[in-house]
Structure 1
Amino acid sequence: MSSLNKSCPAAESELQSTAQPTNLGLGGLTHQALSESPEPTSDEELQFIGHTNPQGIFLAATSPTASIASGGGDKIGVWLPRKTYDHIKRHRIGLVNRRSKTLYGQSQLISNVLLPCLLDQSFHLIPNPVDFAVLQNIYKTEVHPIFPVVEFDMPPPTTAESSPTRILLMQTICLAAATSPRARKHLKLPSLSDSVQMPSDFISYLSQAILTFVDLGTSRDKLVAVQALSVLSLFSQLSNDNHSSAEYCGRAVSYVQTLQLHLDTSRFRKDHRIATRLFLCVWALDRLNAAFHGRPVLMHGRDFGRDMTMSVSQQDNGFQLFLVVIELLDKIIDLYRPSTGTQNNWVDDFPSFEDLIIQTGSQRISGYLIGKFHANEKNPLHVFSWLNPIEFAG
């Protein structure tokens, strides 16, 4: 425990006093502030209870502040203020879980000692401003035009300099850019060393920091969690650890469904364009996951409350080309499903890549980006050459 005390000075004081939770400074924030009062978002103020959940009927009847959620013309559930919902749950169960799932089963003392240390270490795992600017530009020019899962013009002016959401977004952008050869000289983490990190080490440190933030819920913005999990899954598709990539994809899909992004978000979200783009990214990721790992898809068109054709046509040319390729991949997946009577007449009309470029109006996309769609003849699954596999430490 002495080594722990040296790396996290508050550990010793925590051991001496277990009556009060320890608040450690994390870049200007306390552990209490990180875990209990992150920046509020409109998505977190309400809890959705679908009508398929019998609990929703009673909650709607007993809560005067509940509002009806509508998808199209049919009522599908109720939105209940989260504070009211949490109060009802605590009143019924009589217990409040104050521990993180990351340290599930550990004593309160161990949680109070280790969690602040984990947060403190993860919070400072970011490159310096100069290196981050380069990595951000790499993401903007090489990844975002094809897979715009993260808003590169971040952080918004209203986001605090030391907020968990800002740090998580920065780490996600750096992770997405780290596989580019142009990034090699800028893979530095000053909190660990002033020297350039090996790509595998840089990626391992960042991935663990991102997972720590997501698992501990330090940023309550679920959209940011979807972005982070999507990048983790996408760039580990071709790594040796197939399960982790599929798990991150499944968690991203779960968040998307929780946020109701599979419905027509233009009716209830001001940021519906970003929400639609993020939904399409996760939908595409789900198809890639199924193709690479031989798994069933998790998102089905029969559950969507939006016009997919229109949603795809409204995207920028590079992303639209990517989505059209994914649509073809979805048809190929259908050939390998165990169901009988699969229709494969479309195979005779399989379009060429040049046809897809014309169809999506992508003729003006740079040859550099077009080259990233080039299929690798030695590995047919490696359709996108920019998906350099990254390995995560266990």
Structure 2
Amino acid sequence: MVKFVESDTSGLPLKRKQVAHACEKCRRRKKRCTHTGPKLHGDAAPIGSPNKSPGTERSQPSPSNRSNQTRLSTPIPTTEDTQPVSPAIQNNGKGAETHPAAFYGDMNPEAILMEATSLCSRRDVSAPGGHGIWQAPIPPRIGARSSSVPSVQSSSRRAVQDMVRSYLWNHCLPCRPPPSDYAVLKRIYFEKMNPLFPIFEEPSVSTVLDEPINILVQQVVSLAAAADPESTQHLRTTPNGPLMSRQEFCACLSNSVLTTLDSGLVTDRVWLVRLSAALSLYTQPTNAEEADIPALLNSRAVHHANTLGLQMAVDDGHPKKEMIQTIFCCVWALDRITGAFYGRARLIHERDVGWNFDECIRAQAPPFRLLLMIVNLLDQVIGLYCPGTRPNHPVLVELPIFEQMILDTGGSRLTSSCLASLEIFYHSVAILSTQSPVDVASSALPQPATNSRRSLAADRITSIVGEEFTGQLSYMPFIPYGVSLSLSVSYRKMRHSKVPMFRNRGKQAFRKNLQLLKSMDDMFWKSKTMVAMAEQVLNEMDKAVASLAQENGLPDLSKRVEPVPQGEGPEAQPEEIRALEFAQSATEAGNEWMLFDAVPDIDLFGHFDPTFDLGAVDAAFVGNLDFGTSTNWFDWPQQWG
């Protein structure tokens, strides 16, 4: 009688009891094998198996009384032919923990000995010859004495984390919109923002509402979508609760997510990368002390990505290659955006990356691909502002035509609002793509290429935000950043131009950009700081106009001038009549600067109150165009109120 016995994926029969088999290398060498252990039917698959992903389980206090066990994450799976990319710990439910492989670079002396002596080491595949080896850990021997040296994850730290968890479940994690409001915020995010920065996958959001990862994703998605004008009627954190202002709503969500991440509740580094990167992009500081939090979160995202080895290329057959590429591209783009927004040094360098950037960009969806192409241009522009690289002659970075970039990425079918949002980012890079020597940085007459490119790009940003697509854009942080650059360009014209017509044109553009930033000051911290200082500048200009008008015997055009009917009042002198006629025409035009058309050499800024720190204003606005020289824009509210 023949009896057929089932076998598992490795070819071993599925019996109730099995004898441990040595690995193939140890079997050939007839050595005792410590690399494999007995595998029972129904146990979790080992790390490296393509059929099951390593996960992390940890007991969490939950508001539900049914269970205190919460599954936290599902990291990137690996195959036996490629290096692992997730250092998460897998718990098979029986108390045994399996640790993943660790990477040792060729500069590490341990790598040479490990590669020569270990049977389970493999060289990385990111480049011909590799840059190091992946070493599978040796499981501890049975009966081995544990070290008396306390580990980094000591019992005292775990005790503190246990105390923090109760606070998280009672105060931080419940801070999220109710399902009806979250449905609207989620739609806004995945329609307008996630296509441009796909750090999250919509199917990855679990339907189990009590999972910490899912709650954190809901909070970050709601935080990002709150900047959209459509979300104003859905900013609440309790069912049927009162509507909150954007600042209150965003501050509540940002503090909750940041506190949860700091507590160590999330241990899956893949989700730590995603959440840290998303929070770095969308969180908004509320005061000067919090202004470095976005840059800090960016460094955390880069740190976890390096720990996972996301910067190292994987084989084409890797089941999660596309997701790894997308996450890495998001972190790389965020690193460049953070460098531009906050004047920070770039943390990811091409010499440390095993991926081919062109191939990674081509593998992305059209909206994200177009964003990456713009970020790639920004990366070249940042090189102009690095320390010690200030040129002795004008430098102009050649930029491709934006329309051609759209066609190259296959984005011609994208919505107009999406393309307009990316066009603002493109023109922001165009403003920064010109560099002048230090001695002419504040000249009244900049270089021809610099002047024309900056002026046209600034005008396009103002037109798109204020006229063409008002309320329709993807309100991501590079929108107010572009408007603030346009504000700086108009300030430069108003400040240094010697021709009254151009000074007047610069002032009108300055006012218009100020109004645009003021409409977004409850969404973005940078808008609020720029508005505070710009309003102080305009107030000081009005004071100077009134003072000069009084000194020259002319009417104060900050007030409405009423014409004097003929035949009434005292007889006026010809000079007074001409002054009144000129003032009336200037007031009707809504432009008090026409007062100085007759005096083109007058310097209005030279008549500011001596107590007004005009040098700080110049440094701030000019530094906005030269982010390598001024990075303390978050201190402006302390100076300007």
TM-aligned CA distance change 1:114 to 1:238, over 3 Å: closer
Paired amino acid for 1:324:
M
2:277 matched to 1:190? no
1:199 aligns with 2:236: no
SS in 1 for 2:242: coil
Cα distance in structure 2, aligned partners of 1:200 and 1:210: 15
Are residue 97 (structure 1) and residue 154 (structure 2) matched? yes
Q: Which residue of structure 2 aligns with residue 146 of structure 1?
A: 196
After superposition, the C-alpha distances for 1:186-214 in whole angstroms (9 at most, x for unaligned) are: 122117x7122221111111112212222
Which one of the candidate residues 176, 180, 184 is aligned to 2:228? Answer: 180
Aligned counterpart, 2:130: 74
Task: Work out the CA distance in 1 between the residues paired with 2:66 and 2:419.
Answer: 44
- SS for the counterpart of 2:369 is helix
Which ranges in structure 1 are unaligned for 5 or more consecutive residues? Answer: 1-21, 102-107
Task: Please point out which of 101, 111, 120 is paired with 2:170.
Answer: 120
1:367 aligned to which of 416, 434, 446: 416
Matches within 5 A, 1:1-394: 24-27=61-64, 33=69, 38-39=72-73, 41=75, 42=77, 43=86, 44-45=88-89, 46-51=100-105, 52-53=107-108, 67-68=121-122, 70-72=124-126, 73-74=129-130, 76-81=132-137, 91=147, 93-95=149-151, 97-100=154-157, 112-156=162-206, 160-190=208-238, 194-236=241-283, 241-266=290-315, 269-340=318-389, 347=396, 349-373=398-422, 374=424, 375=427, 377=458, 384-385=478-479, 390=524
SS in 1 for 2:412: coil
CA offsets per residue over residues 169-201 of structure 1, 9 Å max, x none? 22221122121111111122117x712222111
RMSD, aligned CA: 3.8
Separation in 2, partners of 1:153, 1:138? 16
In structure 2, do the counterparts of structure 1 residues 383 and 194 end up closer, same or farther at CA, with 3 Å as the change threshold? closer
* Cα offsets for 1:263-294 (capped at 9, x unmatched): 11345852221221111111111111111222
When normalised by structure 1's length, the TM-score is 0.76
CA separation of 1:344/1:219 partners in 2, compared to 1, >3 Å: closer, same or farther?
Answer: farther
Identify which range, 67-76 or 87-96, moves more after superposition.
87-96
> Using the alignment, how far apart are the partners of 1:170 and 1:222 within structure 2?
18
Structure having greater relative contact order (Cα 8 Å, sep ≥ 6): 1
Q: 1:75 to 1:308 in 2, by over 3 A?
A: closer
User: What's the CA shift string for 1:39-98, capped at 9, x where partnerless?
Assistant: 56452141524234556678889987x54352334262334459869x999626245513
Q: Following TM superposition, by how much is the alpha carbon of 1:300 offset from its aligned partner in structure 2, in angstroms?
A: 0.4
Change (3 A) 1:55 1:183: farther
In 1, Cα distance between the equivalents of 2:279 and 2:354?
Answer: 27
Instruction: Letter of the 1:276 partner, please give it.
Output: Q
Greater shift after overlay, 170-179 or 140-149? 170-179
Q: Deviations over 1:280-322 (max 9, x none)?
A: 1111111111112222110001111111001101111111111
**Matched-pair contact (CA < 8 Å) for 2:339–2:345:** yes
* Equivalent pair of 1:150/1:173 in contact (CA under 8 Å): no
- Is residue 29–residue 162 contact of structure 1 (8 Å, CA) maintained in 2? no
Tell me, yes or no, if the aligned pair for 1:165 and 1:221 is still in contact at 8 Å. no
Normalised TM-score (structure 2): 0.49
- 1:40, 1:220 within 8 Å by CA — same for their partners in 2? no
CA contact (8 A) 2:189 2:221 kept: yes
Give the partner amino acid of 1:125.
Answer: C
Q: Identity across aligned pairs (percent)?
A: 25
- The residue type paired with residue 303 of structure 1 is D
More displaced 10-residue stretch of structure 1: 371-380 or 353-362: 371-380
Q: How far apart are the structure 1 equivalents of 2:393 and 2:336?
A: 18
CA distance in 1 between counterparts of 2:165 and 2:117 reads 37
Q: Which amino acid in 1 is paired with 2:293?
A: S
Unaligned stretches of 5+ in structure 2? 1-58, 78-85, 90-99, 429-457, 463-475, 482-519, 527-641
What is the rounded CA distance, in whole Å, between the counterparts of 2:144 and 2:206 in structure 1? Answer: 35
